[in-house]
Structure 1
């Protein structure tokens, strides 16, 4: 048994264990992304953000995720005046 066949067996085992939980895992990842987005944009919502200086450089990458988020929440346009993504 070679290394590649062991990797295939482990991958199959992982797939078998996670097949029933894929929707739960996807939901948890989406919730974590939403929380991260909220923490990064909390300053624009009027909530103090102690890590604002460190998250400022992430804004260009967050704009795309923010656009997907507000569309998923049912808002046609950005709810924040400072962020124009549409």
Structure 2
């Protein structure tokens, strides 16, 4: 094993040690960001005007698969949208 390999392994270990305590925080931030994105994307169906609905229209088929998990996380027992039945 050469010096470069040992150095790269040491740097990777150091990086992992620094990230470890913040992993939960990073996951929470990503989940919150995802929740806000879903709220903005489906806001028009909930009765709120959405200024970017034209740009998010082609994302709906991808997002419908995860919609069930999102509305449960938001505290809604059943789907609030008539067009999307997931429960």
Same fold (TM over 0.5): yes
Partner SS state of residue 15, structure 2: helix
User: Within 5 Å, which residues of 2 pair with 1:30-69?
Assistant: 30-69=31-70
Quick one: structure 1 residues 55 and 7, their matched pair in 2 at CA, closer, same or farther if it must change by over 3 Å?
farther
- 2:15 corresponds to: 14
TM-score normalized with structure 2 length: 0.81
Kindly state the Cα deviation for residue 48 of structure 1 after the two structures are TM-superposed: 1.1
Q: Which runs of 5+ in 1 are unaligned?
A: none
Greater than 6 Å deviation, 4+ residue runs: none
Note the alpha carbon deviations across 1:10-64, whole angstroms, 9 max, x for none: 3212211111111111110100000111111111111111110110000011112
